[in-house]
């Protein structure tokens, strides 16, 4: 359930405000004139509500049932309301007070991106669109395609042809109009913008469409309610384009404006070493992220691979205003983390999700989080989306003869069947 409120848009680049009835569809029209192809977005819009008016008819006690939104009718799929698990095993592994897992693997299409697509599709229907497009590394695409399928809307998807096969198959199964592009995410992003103008489709692109950020804020409200507003010290967020971490910040910002929390938890952006523009920009206090990002970003965590993080400006602001920080983890650490999370919690995660756990381990090793503190890690996508990466974190045994004696032999001496453990991508299994 959601609760509706009056709102305005504010450009995070120039500060110009737009009343809802005259708001731009996507980004600030003044700042977008300076936009360069392939660069981080200028003029991203944030949604601000009349919080004082909202408080007159709403209370903290009912926050779990009413998240502040503009008036829309949502698609039939159920999105959000995901579990928050406490993990004693993971606590012991890093020796901190508590570790909670926000399990987004149970979303309808298997990833956190459903939160954004849910609101975007609702907005598209409200505006009268029946065709929606987006560019994606895979999860945002399958999310949009699945939710469009539930709402009876056509989806037009631009995704790199090198995306994990499971994600491409998922898109095809949802009936999306799929364009596997011989190029990276940044290429797909620009092409989808061209198609939007050419064909008049509605565009879901992350950060370009401001409702993606609003949709992704909902997990913050859930975490606050699930912990009875006793918030964690830090929240570890896998970060690529910077929209999830901006959404997490926005959710807590809303709660802070309403006076329902006293402070925003420290947000921690965790990026792969091969796609680390936001980490570098924060460390060097560089506002012009075009001077920082890689021309050819790469990582096993495909969902986090972007050359130019589109929502860099808002992500950096979210980190600074929450007193947070950013760090990188290696592909080896990401792969190891898949097995650690899955075997310790029963939640099967893809590389982007395991990146959050790898980040918490790194933070504990470097003293950025102490034994007395607590943390939430966002498990943003299911491992079923990238079986090839999960295989690198595990070892399948050799076939066993169909006799009880053979089973007993394996129990007595598993090495006799499984063989010597192997090295995969530099990770010792």
Alpha-helical segments (H) within 104-242? 114-127, 139-151, 165-173, 185-199, 211-216, 218-226
Examine the pLDDT at 210 and tell me if it is beyond 60: yes
Residues 422 and 294 in one domain: no
Structure tokens, 393:
């974190």
pLDDT value of position 4: 64
What's residue 413's pLDDT?
81
Whether residue 349 is found in the same domain as residue 374: yes
Read off the tokens for 324.
């947070």
Examine residue 361 and state whether it is found in any structural domain, yes or no. Answer: yes
> Is residue 337 situated within a structural domain?
yes
Which CATH number characterizes residue 222's domain? 3.40.50.1100
The answer to pTM > 0.85 is yes
Q: How many CB atoms lie within 10 A of CB 410?
A: 17
The residue segments making up the domain with residue 260 are: 84-110+213-388
Please report which helix (H) or strand (E) contains residue 84, including its range.
strand 84-86
Query: Are both 367 and 402 inside the same structural domain?
Result: no
Are 235 and 273 found together in one domain?
yes
Same domain, 309 and 404: no
- Answer whether residue 403 is part of any domain: yes
Give the model's pLDDT for residue 2.
Answer: 58
Give 132-163 pLDDT, tens digit per residue.
999 987 789 999 999 999 999 999 999 989 88
């Amino acid at each position: 359930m959601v609760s509706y409120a009056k709102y305005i848009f504010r450009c995070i680049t120039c500060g110009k405000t737009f009343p809802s009835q005259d708001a731009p569809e996507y980004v600030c029209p003044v700042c977008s004139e300076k936009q360069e192809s392939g660069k981080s977005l200028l003029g991203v819009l944030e949604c601000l509500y009349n919080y004082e008016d909202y408080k007159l008819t709403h209370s903290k006690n009912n926050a779990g049932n009413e998240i502040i939104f503009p008036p829309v009718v949502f698609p039939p799929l159920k999105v959000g309301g995901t579990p928050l698990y406490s993990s004693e095993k993971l606590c012991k592994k890093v020796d901190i007070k508590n570790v909670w897992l926000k399990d987004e693997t149970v979303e309808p299409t298997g990833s956190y991106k459903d939160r954004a697509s849910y609101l975007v599709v609702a907005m598209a229907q409200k505006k009268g669109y029946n065709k929606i497009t987006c560019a994606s590394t895979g999860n945002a695409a399958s999310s949009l395609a699945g939710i469009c399928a539930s709402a009876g809307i056509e989806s037009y998807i631009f995704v790199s042809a090198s995306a994990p096969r499971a994600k491409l198959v998922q898109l095809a199964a949802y009936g999306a109009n799929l364009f596997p592009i011989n190029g990276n995410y940044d290429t797909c992003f620009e092409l989808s913008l061209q198609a939007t103008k050419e064909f008049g489709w509605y565009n879901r692109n992350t950060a370009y469409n401001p409702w993606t950020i609003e949709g992704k804020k909902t997990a913050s409200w859930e975490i606050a309610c699930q912990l009875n507003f006793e918030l964690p010290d830090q929240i570890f967020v896998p970060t690529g384009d910077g929209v999830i971490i901006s959404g997490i910040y926005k959710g807590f910002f809303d709660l802070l404006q309403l006076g329902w929390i006293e402070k925003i938890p420290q947000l921690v952006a965790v990026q792969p070493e091969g796609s680390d523009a936001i980490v570098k920009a924060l460390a060097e206090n560089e506002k012009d992220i075009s001077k920082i990002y890689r021309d050819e970003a790469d990582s096993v965590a495909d969902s986090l691979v972007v050359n130019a993080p589109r929502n860099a400006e808002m992500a950096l602001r979210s980190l600074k205003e929450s007193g947070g920080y950013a760090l990188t983890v290696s592909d080896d650490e990401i792969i190891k983390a898949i097995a650690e999370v899955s075997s310790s919690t029963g939640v099967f995660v893809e590389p982007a999700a395991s990146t959050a756990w790898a980040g918490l381990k790194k933070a504990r090793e470097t003293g950025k989080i102490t034994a007395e503190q607590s943390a939430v890690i966002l498990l943003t996508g299911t491992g079923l989306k990238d079986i090839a990466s999960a295989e690198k974190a595990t070892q399948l045994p050799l076939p066993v003869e169909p006799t009880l004696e053979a089973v007993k032999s394996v129990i007595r001496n598993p090495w006799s069947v499984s063989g010597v453990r192997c090295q995969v991508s530099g990770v010792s299994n």
